[in-house]
A = this chain, B = another copy of it.
Amino acid sequence: MSTSGLPSPDDDFPAWYVEVVRRAELAEHGPSRGSMIIRPHGYAIWELTQRALDDRFKATGHENLYFPLLIPMGLLSKEADHVEGFEPQVAVVTRGGGEELEEPLAIRPSSESIIWNTYRRWVQSYRDLPLLYNQWANVMRWELRPRLFLRTTEFLWQEGHTAHATSDEAMAEALRMLDVYRQVAEDVLAIPVFPGRKSPGERFPGAVETFTIEGLMRDAKALQCGTSHFLGQNFGRAYDVTFLDADGHQEHAWGTSWGFSTRMVGATIMAHGDAAGLRLPPAVAPIQVVIVPIYRSDDERASVLATADGLRADLATAGIRVRLDDRDQHRPGYKFAEWELKGVPVRVELGPRDVAAGRAVLVSRLGGDREEVALADVATGMVGRLADIQAALFADAIAFRNANSHQITSFDAFATGLDEGGGFWTGAWCGNEECEAEISARTKATIRFLPIEPREPGSACMHCGRPGVDTATWARAY
């Protein structure tokens, strides 16, 4: 136990995670299996992430729409790999309006089936393409070992679904959206990620290629942060979405889909947190600055609170998300610990002597360094100060990730290194799925990604010794 009352993240990271989520009031378990109640502090992080994504979707020409929650089972089943991948996880509605339904309805585990079934009506000519659509939605995949934010039966996400006239255009779209995800992970959530391609065994059900961004959490385990799929013509064929091209030929449409979910709130906790709790990137911190007034007498209280409220107004005017913590029932030390736990990037302490001297004390959640700043300069300097903290969190995460990214020199070095310190391990792979499965069985690691373009390593597979055909990066992962 540290002074925060949290389990130590170094000693027991899973216990630390559970306690941070609970005590920082981010989320809790709901009454039905695997469900999650997202509390306001957790939901606000998601809202800010949503806004960052949505702005970028619109800037790249996408529009939002909304498809129904319930998908007739017969419709879900048309793409064989897709249904095989999802059927075991599906929740099924069998009664509605007091009657047994003739056809059971699946709660969407993902919406390719219902969307492509509709695209058939929306697409006739190449002039109708591309369709560049996204929806914000809840989805459900039955989960036996739930973990808040990371693995829950219901989760919130966006799912993009696009249709194109050519393979090249669809592939460019899948990679464009992967890069949008990389931008949001890195520039907004301050989580450095490796973009890459999944091995065939890790592909989305029904996809020709699955692209991923992979981050590293503070326990040196990897987390898949977002995926973008090149669907080829698989859904175009399964749902008979055809169009007349400019030459008058009938073709099946090419597709992509891509998703980013509330799991990323969990990633933000696990990529930045420390012994005192959350460290939130200012870009998604629901409260960026908290002002904690310090006083003893009623006279002091009046004077300090008046100055604090002026400061709050200045910061709000500067576009900062600021909270003045004027609760009387708690001591300043209690408040310091609470806002550290909740990850607020900057704390402003203001006592009677500060007011008299026309200054405040600013404390960064990173490192905890204290700085006296003239009251008049607090608001004007805050945007830059928050940008510095955002950059410092990202630099810190990059340094950690780089220190935990290794080249594989031998299978034994890889297996031992994984046991000792986790991290990413990159080396030559033969491309054989059985070899991949054997390595996973022996190490509990999986291929997190291959390079976007296959890269011949020029050396033998680190496990089976056959010629290497691609360069795989492995890790133990969530």
List chain A positions with a Cβ less than 8 A from chain B.
Answer: 28, 30-33, 35-40, 42-44, 47, 63-72, 75, 87-98, 104-105, 107, 114, 117-118, 127, 133, 137-138, 140, 142-144, 153-154, 156, 329
Contact = CB atoms under 8 A, between A and B. Distances in A.
B96 A95 contact: no
A227 to B, nearest CB: 22
21 contacts: A28-B118, A30-B118, A31-B71, A31-B117, A32-B72, A37-B65, A37-B68, A37-B118, A43-B63, A69-B69, A69-B107, A69-B140, A69-B154, A88-B97, A91-B105, A93-B94, A94-B95, A96-B142, A97-B142, A97-B144, A137-B138
Contact of A68 (B31, B67, B96): B31
Task: Find the residue from A95, A133, A153 having the highest chain B CB count within 10 A.
Answer: A95
Contacts of A137: 138
A92 B96 contact: yes
Contacts of A42: 65
A51 to B, nearest CB: 10
Contact of A30 (B40, B67, B91, B143): B67
A77 to B, nearest CB: 13
Contact of A92 (B89, B93, B117, B118): B93
Contacts of A97: 88-91, 142-144
Nearest to A125: B329
B105 A37 contact: no
Given A31-B117, A95-B91, A142-B96, A70 B40 contact: no
5 interchain residue pairs of minimum CB distance? A97-B142, A35-B68, A40-B63, A30-B68, A92-B95
Contacts of A63: 40, 43-44
A70 B39 contact: no
Task: Find the residue from A37, A88, A133 having the highest chain B CB count within 10 A.
Answer: A37
A70 B37 contact: no
B65 A30 contact: no
Contacts of A75: 31
Contacts of A35: 68-70
B98 A91 contact: no
B88 A37 contact: no
A216 to B, nearest CB: 28
Given A40-B63, A91-B93, A97-B142, 10 more contacts: A32-B105, A37-B118, A44-B64, A66-B156, A69-B140, A69-B154, A88-B98, A91-B96, A91-B97, A97-B144
Task: Find the residue from A33, A67, A68, A105 having the highest chain B CB count within 10 A.
Answer: A68
A37 to B, nearest CB: 6
Contacts of A329: 127
A134 B290 CA distance: 23
Contacts of A114: 30-31
B39 A138 contact: no
B64 A47 contact: yes
Contacts of A68: 30-32, 35-37, 154
A153 B96 CA distance: 10
A68 B133 CA distance: 26
Contact of A66 (B37, B65, B87, B91): B37
Contact of A94 (B33, B44, B92, B118): B92
Nearest to A54: B47
Contacts of A32: 68, 70-72, 105
Contacts of A47: 64
Task: Find the residue from A32, A35, A71, A91 having the highest chain B CB count within 10 A.
Answer: A32
Task: Find the residue from A64, A66, A67, A117 having the highest chain B CB count within 10 A.
Answer: A66
Contact of A93 (B37, B107, B118): B107
A405 to B, nearest CB: 35
Contacts of A142: 96-98
Nearest to A91: B96
Contact of A43 (B65, B94, B104): B65
A124 to B, nearest CB: 13
A224 B262 CA distance: 34
Nearest to A329: B127
